[in-house]
Amino acid sequence: MKLHARPVTFVVTVLLVMGIAALPAAAAKQDYSPHIKVQGSTLPEPDDTFGSVDDPAIGETPPTLVGEGFNGQPVTVEHGSAPRIVIFVAHWCPHCQAEVPEIVKLAKNGKLDGVEVDTIATNTSADLPNYPPFKWLKREKWPFKPVMVDDKRSRALVAMGGNSFPYFVFVAADGTVAWRTSGELPPDLITDIAARLVAGQPILRE
């Protein structure tokens, strides 16, 4: 009996189609958490004492935030296990774009050792520059993962008392606010704050 071989091009085509069909679809990144759950009391909104030793948020316990990350994975921002920095960034904010690489350098050089860093991407908009935020942070090699994505109402930012970016909340090891501020911070100041948090020292002096 004589066997007839199938054309090579047909076999290759079938294999390619089978291979492509077997590949899972790439998961889409999400810009928002479907819902941010706030556990505990929200921090007060900034007033004329913001950034000073008289800020009423200092000494308060910030709320725990429960939401999701870019991949839809559960992300929780909670306090009390270690000193930490909670930072809110917006992809279109030029001050955030300037601050992120500086913080990456600090982390790479060990200047933030002993301090946990929680990141929340907030105020995301496909109509604004530097979108999407997950590509921006990946491009910058942001080392602190997972990143929480805020919801469409910026519930996480509001719960932590923020209204501008980048917004920092520095939390002592006992889970209370040591200081909070917004805007670009000099690397030396962030280094000093991290050292004070690790040593259990106050950030601000009377």
Per-residue pLDDT, 19: 45
Give the per-residue pLDDT at 3.
40
**Distances from the Cα of 44 to the Cαs of 24, 40, 80, 84, in angstroms?**
46, 13, 19, 19
Q: pLDDT averaged over consecutive 10-residue blocks of the chain (206 residues)?
A: 43 39 61 96 96 96 98 95 96 98 98 98 98 98 97 98 97 97 98 98 86
Distance CA 153, CA 99 (A): 24
Which residues, 6+ apart, have CB-to-CB distance to 176 below 8 Å? 58, 59, 60, 61, 79
Token pair for 136? 């921006």
> What is the rounded distance in angstroms from the CA atom of residue 6 to the CA atom of residue 86?
63
The CATH number assigned to the domain with range 28-199 reads 3.40.30.10
Each domain of the chain, given as residue ranges in start order, spans 28-199
Looking only at the bridges linking them, the beta strands covering 116-121 and 148-149 are parallel
Taking a C-beta distance cutoff of 8 angstroms, is the pair 77, 120 a contact?
Answer: yes
What is d(CA 151, CA 149) in angstroms, rounded to the nearest whole number? 7
Question: Which amino acid, one-letter code, is at 27?
Answer: A
List Cβ neighbours of 137 (8 Å cut-off, separation of 6 or more).
89, 100, 119, 121, 147
pLDDT at 77: 97
